[in-house]
Amino acid sequence: RELLAELLQKKADAEPEIPPEHYRFDLYPEYLQLKEQQAQLQANDIRNPYFSVHEGIARDTTRIDGKELINFSSYNYLGLAGHPTVSETAKQAIDRYGTSVSASRPVSGEKPLHLELEQGIADFIGVDDAVLYVAGHGTNVTTIGHLFGRNDLILYDAYSHNSIFLGCVLSGARAMSFAHNDVADLERLLKQHRHRYQRVLVVIEGVYSADGDIPELPKFIELKERHKAFLMVDEAHSIGVLGEHGQGISEHFGIDPKTVDIWMGTLSKSFASCGGYIAGSQPLIEYLKCTAPGFIYSIGITPANTAASLAALQVLKQEPERVARLHARAQLFLDLAKEKGLNTGTSHGSAVIPVMVGETLKALHLSQQLFHQGINVQPMTFPVVPQNEARLRFFLSSTHTEAQIRQTVETLAAALAHIETEIPA
């Protein structure tokens, strides 16, 4: 009996065996799943459309594998990434301030350029002040994560960007999505849940990046005022794009920008750089600058990135015709695509135009065929978009010519028709 007791004790003391996939990345199940997906692409003779190396500046055209292509895969909406003045201003900032500010802004990283750009963005949008972060993604995560907490509720559009969703998770607030662009669904949730929480945040985007559609901002403002909630608008794809002067969705609808509590935007698209901003009232910005973890515990944005956006903002203000041209080019693409019977979903009035294809494999094949015919456009497939809603997503730029757009829609319509016969549903 003693022996048995000893054996049982030994068993109880023995360390439980830990499966190797719990401590080895080469056996990590999610990694193996990724390898499986890559193998499927290869088996179907599809070149990986991701991580293509662009050998120069990506605007209306780009160079991949030594080949010049018409480009629809970059966020260079106003053609300012690569604009001579923007590049020159960034170079001068490096000469004057170096390549890094070498500390967080509160510690010793503050440069005159930072305040100039923050005030420039705030004035452009029409609010008190702004704060800069080193990335657009981090801007959403840290701002939402920091401002809201366990007693709060966040209601976000179902098509929200990953960074909004991660901000909700970090905050610890109760987070629920409402149906895409559906004000009635949002109202239902507000009526049902508002009274049980302290603060409520509603998050929408100025332009949704998978579909290129625009929410009815005035209706969201009316709702948030009635239910005493905060409203945040992510303008990653609408600043520099919507409105006659590119001032974004508030200009598009002619609303007072101060009626939105939190304006978020990125420097990586129309502003030709890298970084993000929050713009709004003086108390909001002062509070974030003194307490937001992604701001106070992170390096200040680099002189070159700050200067590039400052210059981009200047060019944008001096040349509103860039915005007008972007609108005209996007409209031309949309009109021609519709003439050809292509399904562009709900895209309207923005610079993002999806062409719906359906199955993942079809979208991958189509993207590849267009690549061979001199057009670079990325597929969007499950799980980034719902199953069987795979699409090619065209980002328009003010630098595209009418001829490039006509050629693209012609080639696209022919290639799609060909694929539909090759790969029946």
Enzyme catalytic residues:
209, 237, 269
Q: How far is the CB of 294 from ligand PMP (least distance, A)?
A: 12
Nearer to ligand PMP among residue 206 and residue 412 (C-beta)? 206
Nearer to ligand PMP among residue 135 and residue 249 (C-beta)? 135
Could you give the 3-state DSSP secondary structure of residue 69?
strand
Nearer to ligand PMP among residue 60 and residue 211 (C-beta)? 211
The stretches of 126-177 forming alpha helices (DSSP H) are: 136-147, 162-171
User: Two tokens at 134?
Assistant: 């080193």
Q: How far is the CB of 144 from ligand PMP (least distance, A)?
A: 11
Q: How far is the CB of 233 from ligand PMP (least distance, A)?
A: 10
**Angstrom distance (rounded) from CA 251 to CA 247:** 6
Nearer to ligand PMP among residue 158 and residue 423 (C-beta)? 158
Interface ranges with ligand PMP (CB under 6 A):
135-137, 140, 161, 163, 205, 209, 234, 236-237, 266, 268, 276
User: Two tokens at 323?
Assistant: 């915005």
Distances (CA, A) of 116 to 28, 123, 135, 317: 47, 10, 18, 15
Q: How far is the CB of 181 from ligand PMP (least distance, A)?
A: 14
Q: How far is the CB of 138 from ligand PMP (least distance, A)?
A: 7
**Angstrom distance (rounded) from CA 32 to CA 41:** 14
Residue nearest to ligand PMP (CB): 136
**Angstrom distance (rounded) from CA 164 to CA 139:** 9
How does strand 200-205 pair with strand 262-266? unpaired
**Angstrom distance (rounded) from CA 49 to CA 51:** 7
Nearer to ligand PMP among residue 162 and residue 198 (C-beta)? 162
**Angstrom distance (rounded) from CA 2 to CA 63:** 77
